[in-house]
């Protein structure tokens, strides 16, 4: 099994990124609601960078790194200017168990640390595979809180906040 090729996302990747996201949405309901503008959703405000995992022309996965809002910074206990949030992380169903999500997570965390920022993230409790990935990768849960939406199974979302392992930020 070969390691996925991770590189910065380019403008001409967007159509493939949206197609990959559509397969993830169909399989996992991520994101919870399909965005009216999927390309815009993949390019959130405060974007610091985005990376894709590719196999030839096919996008296998995606991750973004954004500025951190004040509310998340308060939950972490550090100024927002010292943090970067990992978001929009996904791997297509055909790319799972190949290390794609792990490699994308590592790329975003390295980029944040390279800019002197501590990588952080939030994940909904229903994303069990994502939670397992973060914990296997050494990320540390620092808190949980109710979300402001209802999950597809009718419960109030529960968000877990994580910080990257110290080795990433050293």
Residue 170 has pLDDT above 60, yes or no: no
| Angle of CA points 53, 102, 39, to nearest 5° | 45
In this prediction, residue 19 has a pLDDT band, given cuts at 50, 70 and 90, of very high
Judge contact between 51 and 109, C-beta under 8 A: no
Count: domains in the chain: 1
- Give the CATH number, domain containing residue 58: 3.40.630.30
Q: What is the pLDDT of residue 56?
A: 85
Q: Which domain holds residue 145?
A: 5-169
Nearest-angstrom CA–CA distance, 90 and 30 = 8
| Token digits of residue 35 | 């965005």
Model pTM score? 0.93
Query: What's the mean pLDDT in 153-160?
Result: 92
What digits encode the pLDDT tens for the residues 31-89?
A: 988 999 999 999 999 999 999 999 988 899 999 999 999 999 999 999 999 999 999 99
């Amino acid at each position: 099994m070969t390691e996925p090729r991770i590189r910065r996302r380019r403008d001409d990747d967007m159509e493939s990124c949206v197609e990959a996201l559509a397969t993830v949405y169909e399989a996992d309901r991520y994101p919870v609601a399909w965005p009216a503008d999927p390309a815009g959703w993949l390019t959130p405000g405060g974007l610091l960078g985005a990376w894709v995992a590719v196999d030839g022309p096919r996008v296998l996965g995606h991750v973004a790194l954004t500025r951190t809002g004040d509310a998340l910074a308060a939950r972490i206990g550090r100024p927002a200017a010292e943090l970067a949030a990992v978001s929009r992380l996904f791997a297509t169903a055909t790319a799972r168990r190949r290390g794609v999500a792990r490699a994308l997570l590592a790329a975003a965390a390295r980029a944040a640390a390279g800019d002197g920022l501590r990588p952080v993230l939030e994940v909904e409790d229903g994303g069990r595979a994502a939670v397992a990935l973060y914990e296997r990768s050494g990320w540390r849960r620092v808190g949980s809180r109710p979300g402001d939406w209802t999950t597809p199974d009718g419960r109030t979302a529960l968000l877990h906040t994580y910080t990257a392992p110290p080795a990433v930020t050293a």
